[in-house]
Amino acid sequence: TTRTPEFLGLEKSADLFPESGSVSEVIIGVLDTGIWPESKSFDDTGLGPVPSSWKGQCEEGTNFTSSTCNRKLIGARYFSKGYEATLGPIDESKESKSARDDDGHGTHTATTAGGSVVTGASLFGYASGTARGMATRARIAAYKVCWVGGCFSSDILAAMDKAIDDNVNVLSLSLGGGMSDYYRDSVAIGAFAAMEKGILVSCSAGNAGPSQYSLSNVAPWITTVGAGTLDRDFPAYVSLGNGLNYSGVSLYRGDSLSSKMLPFVFAGNASNVTNGNLCMMGTLIPEKVSGKIVLCDRGVNARVQKGAVVKAAGGAGMVLANTAANGEELVADAHLLPATTVGQKSGDLIKSYIFSDPNPTATILFEGTKVGIEPSPVVAAFSSRGPNSITPEILKPDVIAPGVNIIAGWSGSVGPTGLAIDTRRVGFNIISGTSMSCPHVSGLAALLKAAHPEWSPAAIRSALMTTANTACKNGQMIEDIATGKPSTPFDHGSGHVDPVSALNPGLVYDLNISDYLNFLCALNYTASQISSLARSNFTCDSSKKYSVTDLNYPSFAVSFQMGGGTGGTTVVKHTRTLTNVGSAATYKVSLHSQSESFKISVEPDSLTFTELNEKKSYAVTFTAGSMPSNTNSFGRIEWSDGKHIVRSPVAISWT
């Protein structure tokens, strides 16, 4: 990726990060659509021998030999038995029965996590610069589990099973599958086994935002990653015949409209179908759009496909207008014709012009790449949101990371739009999603693993969470682009990752297997369910009182079940244990709550650590009065020794 290393402070603080030798011992396994090994991001120049711990393979298959891998891409496997059992044999004329990536997504995520340094990277000149993964010296192992027809859980489980055998250190999964109990969810099951082996599992939170309760991958042994923007944009303005300009974004490169004003038509008025505004395949009347710029509404079909539909009907350009579902979030696309995406407000104003002017005209002006955009980061509208629908007491997502308009490596067998008619081939592509933010965190986790090989997956996650930023570069609180208001822990979790601070968090909230087993007991899982999930004969002690609030998680979610009730107060207690991973120090607590509707108290309010790895516990009491159901309120608990701030978000909800 370009820009995100600077945005995250990796470039400026390079000397703080571990020696390249230790990072090159870390192996990141990526479960995705496979890999394009010829990407420059997998150049292995300067890398030493494959780590001796590595047990993986470079499996042969369609257009993939055992010698396709190198010292950077050290493993490549594919898992298709479940897919083929359901959908029939793979059509090798359409997709490779091997780890080869025919989609681009897997190459994008793998190169984001651990791609080598590539100078002169860009997409048609956009986002140009030196591209690199977060952990440039880490090794990559690709596990192809997603195919044209989807990603099947039997294949995902098989890939995780093999990745554990292979000895990966970090697993990156930019996929999800709805909201199942942990013992039914293959990703949660596989991640539990990985966690037991000391493997950090980083997963995307999902793109179902801004709706509440829309998260995937919420098991507490998974690091769940939401998406934010960075300080970069690709402006492309719509200039109307009435002299007004509206800003949008685009990655179009090709013959421009030469600032020529062209007739402008609303797609809904150039179609005979009721949803003509969406520019679905075959719905535009060529006679009504030929030579014109067409305004299409976002939704239902792919954004780039709308452009292809307009082009096929003879349109000269397209303005893609967000609707309420996307608000002002601008996601740039490498359209096949001159096109730009505008926010809902601009879209509504542009439509008013089209409807009111007898001869509306417009043109689109492409401005290239702009950096230094403020505010940044902001939470992407599409990023899935809490509360956690499986265990409301565990706050998710854990963190956000860059996931909007991310440039990274791409497959050579598909164009940047992914459309079959797109014959362009690019080494790098710019796409958006929590799929893109997840591998940022996977790569950062690899850096932390190299710096602190003794840290558990929970300790690494804790370091990333407690040091995350809740403020933008300009000092203002991080915004939610869906609302234009400050985002909340249900949107950004602990905040935007700050890897430089995460290297030295001072204290961590650690967790081990027995903590998670006790958590399952607190969920009242049966012995059979626990055994399905954790493969152990662990039996919950009937004489012991288990509580979800005792899980040593680095954040707090408190659910008061008193919606609409009258009078009285409710008290919820949590306990936490901090482990010293820095020097001897005394930490004092500070408490912040957004409203008077709840109170936080912590006992003790000061913790003194004299030794490395010393543990100290504290108790938190949340006290709340009655509030209407669906009310949320937020706060934070911070421990500081004057040098470090160990910050935990607090989310209170009344249900």
Which parts of this chain interact with other proteins (CB under 8 A)? 32-33, 79, 81-82, 85-86, 105, 146, 150-154, 156-158, 160-161, 164-165, 174-178, 180, 183-187, 189-190, 192-194, 197, 204-207, 216, 433-435, 438, 528-529, 531-532, 535, 537
| Residues linked to residue 402 through DSSP beta bridges, in sequence order | 228
Q: Minimal distance in Å, beta carbon 458 to other proteins?
A: 19
Q: Minimal distance in Å, beta carbon 306 to other proteins?
A: 20
d(C-alpha 553, C-alpha 548), whole Å: 10
435 catalytic, yes or no?
yes
Nearer to other proteins by C-beta: 163 or 321? 163
d(C-alpha 379, C-alpha 260), whole Å: 36
The token pair that represents 355 in the structure block:
């409807």
Q: Distances in Å between the alpha carbon of 423 and those of 57, 123, 201, 315, 418?
A: 32, 15, 36, 19, 10
Of the candidates 41, 186, 216, 435, the residue annotated as catalytic is 435
Q: Minimal distance in Å, beta carbon 12 to other proteins?
A: 30
| Residues linked to residue 618 through DSSP beta bridges, in sequence order | 576
Q: Minimal distance in Å, beta carbon 379 to other proteins?
A: 15
Nearer to other proteins by C-beta: 174 or 462? 174
Nearer to other proteins by C-beta: 53 or 655? 53
Q: Which residue carries 């244990």 as its tokens?
A: 577
Nearer to other proteins by C-beta: 53 or 630? 53
Q: Distances in Å between the alpha carbon of 573 and those of 284, 570, 603, 618, 655?
A: 60, 10, 11, 11, 17
Residue 566: strand, helix, or coil: coil
Closest CA to 576 of 624, 507, 640: 507
Q: Minimal distance in Å, beta carbon 96 to other proteins?
A: 17
Residue 388: strand, helix, or coil: coil
Nearer to other proteins by C-beta: 222 or 624? 222
d(C-alpha 246, C-alpha 308), whole Å: 23
255 catalytic, yes or no?
no
CA angle 581, 643, 619 (to 5 degrees): 60
Nearer to other proteins by C-beta: 284 or 534? 534
Nearer to other proteins by C-beta: 155 or 641? 155
Q: Minimal distance in Å, beta carbon 304 to other proteins?
A: 16
d(C-alpha 45, C-alpha 85), whole Å: 40
Residue 592 φ/ψ, nearest 5 degrees: -135, 130
32 catalytic, yes or no?
yes
d(C-alpha 437, C-alpha 618), whole Å: 33
Of the candidates 105, 440, 452, 492, the residue annotated as catalytic is 105
Which residues 6+ apart lie within 8 Å of 604 measured at CB?
618
Q: Minimal distance in Å, beta carbon 215 to other proteins?
A: 11
Closest CA to 26 of 47, 42, 2, 7: 47
So which residues are the catalytic ones?
32, 105, 435
